[in-house]
């Protein structure tokens, strides 16, 4: 991974600010007013000393102080307005960026998240969505404003110093280029270290998510001590990289301040000599000191912001890396419409497919024709290609050779959303999301009313246990539906598929992990779900699919036999072997 982030990458984010031009203009106006007010205070200080104190003129002193009070009031109002507008813009940028990245992530194929490449684990990506966007929010909602304000004050202070005392200004201005050199050198180091630090923090999130999501397995294997040690090791790596980055930022800030304020000290000595010699008034020296301190403080702040910019560049690079990843599975530009009603005829012709990073084909020259409304069961040993077939039908992957059609249309020519809407998936381990029972059911149909929810759950043999929950359909399920048994989660998944009303039903070992009673209820629900639909069922337990219209025997990515249970017992040695293992003896 490239560790050298270029701050120019931040310019790409400016496009997100385009809709908020009015707020940007208002913030810019407030910034100029605030900066100008601060600079006016230096001239006010000169008048107070020369015309008030030294001239002993009470009226002039009062008038000057009143004017300074007005300037301070303008400064306060402008600063408050600037702070609100800039903070709003920073928060808005972070929110828009989070939405844009999340929206883009949902268009990426599952293989992206399954890749072994660094930075693609779900926990690491979640860290980018939260931690990295927060870094950018801080930059655009605070640091950029500080930088612009101090840049304006630096320019204004330098101009006013030159007007007030040209020769003395040279001593302060010598410190400016001397300060820029360490800023540039240390800034590069901070940028590289920031990217490394952010990567370590993302790894912490990934590891913690993995450990907590598998907490039962972790505890069952008494792996707590090992995982504590591994996590602690990663925490220390993140801490060490953060400390190293902080050390460089500390040097960056400290050296900048030392150089500038050393120049200010030298200027004070020379200015004091000029006042004693009578070539400069005390008021002019005070105003000059005021401007010099403003210039020194501005440079120190700019040095701080330079570190923030380097850190934000690393965060922006990580987020834009996600946004720049194009989905390999996309809808064509002008997809044909699916026929209505959809019959559900499926055909695979000479399909070849190998998973990324592997050499052995998952499907090799695969041919299959499924009639509309046919109930087909896929059987065979693990790794035969059964689940791969479902993944290809849903276009989670595309075959490297051959094609798949739905009602005569190549699925690669169809709109991706329309294709997936036509298919209903019930997985072996159904995924439920945080939210209520009703929220999870409406994944099948967001517009389903309560009556339809009750009908679907009744058909899925789920209504009784839902009514027994504390709040019925409004009961929160927790992450992954942890409060429900495996059979209950499976029946909710079936009800969800019923609400979707798909033309093609894909069942991936939907009853393999259930006890006998749960399996009976789920199988009844599945039988109702499959009525009138093309159904493709993956099953290791042959007893659940004997009644299928046709059983397809897969082995090594090939279709090796097809027929009814009775036909395959006679014609297929592999099927006969599988049946003997499950039913006992040669069947």
Q: Which two tokens stand for residue 506?
A: 């894909």
pLDDT attached to residue 264: 67
> If you compute the radius of gyration of the chain from its CA atoms, what whole number of angstroms results?
35
Strand order from edge to edge, sheet including 550-555: 423-426, 504-508, 534-538, 375-379, 550-555, 558-563
Q: How does 294-308 read in b/e, with b if 16+ C-beta sit within 10 Å?
A: bbbbbbbbbbbbbbb
106-110, 416-420, 465-469, 551-555, range with the lowest pLDDT: 106-110
What is this structure's pTM?
Answer: 0.71
331 secondary structure, DSSP code:
-
Residue extents of the structural domains in the chain: 13-323, 346-583
User: 325 is written with which tokens?
Assistant: 């990843």
Spatial distance between the Cα atoms of 7 and 317, rounded to a whole number of angstroms:
9
pLDDT value at residue 176 = 63
Say if residue 346's pLDDT is above 90: yes
- Mean pLDDT computed over 568-583: 86
CB 413 within 8 A of CB 335: yes
Sheet containing 346-353: order of strands: 363-370, 346-353, 401-406, 409-410
Which CATH architecture fits 13-323?
Answer: Up-down Bundle (1.20)
- Please calculate the CA angle 26-32-36 and round it to the nearest 5 degrees: 150
Using the CB atoms, write b or e for 121-158: b if 16+ within 10 Å: bebbbbbbbebbbebbbbbbbbbbbbbbbbbbbbebbb
Q: So what's the pLDDT on residue 5?
A: 58
Per-residue pLDDT of 144-181, as tens digits, reads 888 888 888 888 888 888 887 777 777 667 766 665 66
Dihedral of the CA atoms 14, 15, 20, 24 (nearest 10)?
30
pLDDT tens-digit readout, 382-422: 888 888 999 999 998 999 999 999 998 999 999 998 998 89
Point out the least confidently predicted range of 89-103, 121-135, 432-446: 121-135
Residue 266: C-alpha distances to residues 66, 261, 271, 298, 525 (Å): 33, 9, 9, 18, 88
Predicted confidence (pLDDT) per residue in 411-465, tens digit: 999 999 899 889 888 887 888 888 889 998 998 888 889 999 998 888 888 888 8
| pLDDT higher than 70, residue 248 | yes
Task: Give whichever of 250-259, 307-316, 513-522 has the largest mean pLDDT.
Answer: 307-316
pLDDT recorded at residue 51: 66
Among 3, 1, 6, 2, CA closest to 312: 6
346-583 fold: Rossmann fold (3.40.50)
Average pLDDT of the chain, as a whole number: 82
Element (H, E) at 364: strand 363-370
In whole angstroms, give the CA distance from residue 199 to residue 121: 12
Residue with tokens 């040669």, as numbered in its chain: 586
- Cis check: omega of the bond before 341, within 30 degrees of 0: yes
The number of helices, as runs of H, and strands, as runs of E, in the chain is 19, 10
| CA-based nearest residue to 124, from 227, 228, 199 | 199
């Amino acid at each position: 991974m490239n560790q050298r982030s270029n701050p120019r990458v931040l310019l790409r984010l400016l496009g997100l600010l385009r809709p908020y031009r009015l707020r940007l203009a208002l913030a810019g106006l407030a910034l100029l007013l605030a900066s100008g007010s601060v600079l006016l205070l230096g001239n006010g200080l000169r008048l107070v000393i020369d015309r008030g104190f030294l001239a002993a003129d009470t009226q002039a002193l009062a008038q000057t102080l009143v004017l300074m009070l007005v300037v301070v009031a303008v400064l306060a109002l402008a600063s408050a307005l600037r702070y609100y507008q800039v903070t709003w813009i920073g928060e808005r940028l972070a929110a828009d960026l989070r939405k844009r990245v999340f929206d883009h992530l949902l268009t990426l194929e599952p293989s992206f998240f399954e890749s072994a490449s660094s930075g693609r684990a779900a926990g690491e990506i979640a860290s980018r969505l939260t931690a990295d966007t927060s870094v950018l929010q801080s930059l655009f909602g605070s640091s950029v404003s500080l930088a612009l304000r101090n840049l304006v004050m630096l320019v204004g202070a330098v101009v006013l110093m030159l007007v007030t005392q040209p020769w003395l200004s040279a001593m302060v201005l010598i410190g400016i280029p001397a300060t820029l050199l360490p800023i540039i050198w240390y800034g590069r180091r901070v940028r590289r270290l920031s990217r490394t630090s952010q990567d370590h923090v993302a790894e912490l999130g990934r590891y913690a998510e993995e450990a907590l999501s598998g907490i039962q397995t972790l505890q069952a294997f008494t792996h707590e001590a090992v995982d504590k040690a591994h996590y602690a090791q990663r925490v220390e790596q993140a801490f060490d990289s953060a400390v190293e980055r902080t050390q460089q930022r500390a040097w960056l800030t400290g050296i900048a301040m030392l150089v500038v304020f050393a120049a200010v000290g030298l200027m004070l000595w020379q200015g004091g000599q000029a006042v004693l010699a009578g070539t400069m008034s005390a008021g002019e020296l005070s105003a000059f000191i005021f401007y010099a301190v403003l210039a020194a403080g501005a440079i120190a702040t700019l040095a701080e912001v330079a570190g923030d910019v380097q850190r934000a560049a690393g965060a922006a690079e990580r987020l834009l890396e996600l946004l720049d990843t194009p989905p390999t599975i996309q809808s064509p530009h002008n997809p044909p419409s699916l026929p209505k009603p959809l019959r559900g005829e499926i055909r695979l012709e000479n399909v070849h497919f190998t998973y990324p990073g592997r050499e052995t084909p998952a499907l090799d020259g695969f041919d299959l024709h499924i009639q509309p409304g046919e109930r087909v069961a896929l059987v065979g040993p693990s790794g035969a290609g059964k689940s791969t077939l479902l993944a290809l039908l849903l276009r989670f992957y595309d075959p490297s050779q051959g094609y798949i059609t739905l009602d005569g249309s190549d699925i690669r020519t169809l709109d991706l959303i329309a294709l997936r809407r036509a298919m209903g998936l019930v997985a072996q381990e159904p995924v439920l999301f945080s939210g209520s029972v009703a929220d999870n059911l409406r994944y099948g149909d967001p517009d389903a009313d309560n009556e339809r929810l009750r009908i679907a759950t009744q058909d899925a043999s789920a209504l009784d246990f839902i009514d027994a929950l504390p709040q019925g359909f409004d009961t929160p399920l927790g992450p992954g539906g942890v409060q429900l048994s495996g059979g209950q989660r499976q029946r909710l998944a079936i009800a969800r598929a019923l609400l979707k009303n798909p033309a093609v039903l894909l069942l991936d070992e939907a009853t393999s992990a259930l006890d006998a009673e749960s399996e009976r209820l789920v199988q009844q629900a599945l039988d109702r779900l499959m009525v009138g639909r093309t159904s493709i069922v993956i099953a290791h337990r042959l007893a659940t699919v004997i009644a299928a219209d046709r059983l397809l025997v897969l082995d090594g990515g090939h279709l090796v036999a097809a027929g009814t249970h009775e036909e395959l017992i006679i014609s297929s040695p592999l099927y006969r072997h599988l049946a003997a293992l499950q039913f006992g003896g040669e069947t």
